[in-house]
Structure 1
Amino acid sequence: MSVLLSLGLVFGFSCGADHVAEAKTKVKVYKNCKELNKVYKGGVARTSKVKNKGGKTKYKPYVSKDLYDANKNKDRDKDLIACER
């Protein structure tokens, strides 16, 4: 009986860990830059080392590789900063 209980606990904890890891990896895909800029005023940069190719920007971009990758189609000038302002 104790063996079955132990196996049940081990199996239960291992399944719960998968759901937590899965929840952390999901990032939001925004419809357009207007929606993204409501949350991230300066846009989203892939790394902290990227430089803006366009003109001056008013705000500093939020840095997140996963968020940028999910919304990279909004990076019109391909400078690794999506929706910069």
Structure 2
Amino acid sequence: MKKYILSILLSATLIGSLSISTIEVEASTKGKIKLVEYKNCTDLNAVYKGGVAKAANVKNKGGKTKHQPFVSAELYKLNSKSDRDKDGIACEK
């Protein structure tokens, strides 16, 4: 019985620490980027050479690219109109 309770407490502690670190990472990246709706891909690529992806695990459907996209769901949402092939990466280059 003691092993069972100890396992539950250890699991809860690990889950709690993971969620706290995730929140800190998200908060720190939000402070470093400007959430801007760019007029076109030329303007967006001047700041983010590889474009903007909504998630780190999206795959480019368009073909070979030179640069890795910057990952930000919020920034992608503002510029999703520039994602012509609807692969989850706006203005990939």
Is the pair's TM-score, using the shorter chain for normalization, greater than 0.5? yes
- Equivalence for 1:68: 76
TM-score (norm 1): 0.69
Runs of 4+ in structure 1 over 3 Å off: none
- Equivalence for 1:5: none
> Highest CA radius of gyration, 1 or 2?
1
Identity %: 63
RMSD: 1.7
* Corresponding residue to 2:50 among 42, 47, 58: 42
Q: Which runs of 5+ in 2 are unaligned?
A: 1-30
In structure 1, distance between residues paired with 2:63 and 2:42: 19
- Cα deviation for residue 51 of structure 1 reads 0.1
1:30-80 CA-partner distances (Å, limit 9, x unpaired): 000000000000000000000000110000000000000000000000000
TM-score (norm 2): 0.63
In structure 1, distance between residues paired with 2:61 and 2:74: 21
- Equivalence for 1:54: 62
